């Protein structure tokens, strides 16, 4: 009885597939062929499985599912924990080149000017970084303070002087460019509005001052979003 039902289903699928053959274009025919073929393979796999031939039925079933468009890799339990590499946001000032990892929220950076040029922030002690904060331009200072707040939350209590004062004569870098905005949000040039909003929401969860983040970085992320959305 099972053999008869399986055979009838296969015949019916082939009949309707051939009937539609003359009316469909090449793309539709290819899609129909995969659907029909996948269904036939699945029926055969089910039949073999009921007969006890699991070792043959399982790979046939996987092949049939792939033919009809199922993503087998995502369905397998051992693949669910795998993650694609996360995005990174990049912010550059006159003295610092900073990178924020979206997944971990880790902030890292490199000094790109002055006597410490080329030094990684992670390789400098807190006292050196606190002194550097007194000497750099306002934008670099705010980034450096954000880094120190994450690395050593109590650094301000031991710092000499007031890093918040900085250089009164230091100039601002001016308006943000679209290229900088994409780098700050960790997006490729030409990203769509949905991607821009998604990246902005993700970053603000990590950087918003209410969540212990940086006012300066949060402001830069908001500015980057506004610039890119205005251009769409």
Kindly state the tokens that stand for 211. 């969540």
Arithmetic mean of pLDDT, 174-203: 88
14 inside domain: yes
111 inside domain: no
- Tally of domains in the chain: 1
Q: What is the DSSP letter of 172?
A: P
What residue numbers bound the domain in which 52 lies? Answer: 2-79
pLDDT value for 118:
95
Arithmetic mean of pLDDT, 65-88: 53
204 inside domain: no
133 inside domain: no
pLDDT category, 129, cuts 50, 70, 90?
very high
pLDDT surpasses 90 at 109: yes
| Phi (first) and psi of residue 111, to 5 degrees | -80, 130
- For the segment 42-66, what is each residue's pLDDT rounded down to a tens digit? 677 677 778 776 777 677 667 666 6
The count of C-alpha atoms lying within 13 angstroms of the C-alpha of 36, restricted to the half-sphere facing its C-beta, is: 19
Q: Per the confidence metrics, is the pTM higher than 0.75?
A: no
Contacts of 54 (CB under 8 A, 6+ apart): none
35 inside domain: yes
Which sign, positive or negative, has the C-alpha torsion 33, 38, 41, 42?
A: negative
């Amino acid at each position: 009885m099972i053999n008869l039902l399986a055979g009838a289903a296969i015949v019916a699928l082939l009949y309707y597939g051939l009937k539609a053959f003359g009316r469909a274009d090449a793309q539709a025919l290819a899609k129909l062929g995969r659907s029909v073929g996948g269904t036939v393979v699945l029926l055969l796999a089910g039949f073999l499985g009921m007969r006890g031939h699991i070792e043959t039925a399982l790979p046939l079933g996987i092949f049939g599912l792939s033919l009809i468009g199922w993503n087998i890799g995502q369905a397998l339990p051992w693949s669910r924990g795998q993650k694609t590499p996360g995005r990174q946001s990049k912010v550059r000032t006159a003295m610092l080149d900073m990178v924020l990892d979206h997944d971990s929220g880790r902030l890292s950076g490199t000094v790109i000017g002055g006597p410490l040029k080329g030094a990684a922030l992670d390789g400098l002690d807190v006292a050196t970084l606190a002194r550097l904060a007194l000497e750099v331009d306002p934008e670099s200072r705010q980034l450096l303070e954000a880094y120190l707040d994450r690395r050593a939350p109590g650094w301000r209590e031991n710092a000499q002087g007031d890093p918040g004062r900085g250089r009164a004569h230091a100039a601002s870098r001016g308006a943000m460019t679209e290229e900088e905005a994409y780098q700050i949000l960790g997006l490729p040039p030409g990203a769509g509005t949905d991607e821009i909003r998604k990246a902005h929401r993700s970053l603000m969860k990590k950087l918003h001052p209410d969540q212990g983040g940086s006012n300066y970085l949060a402001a830069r992320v908001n500015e980057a979003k506004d610039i890119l959305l205005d251009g769409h």
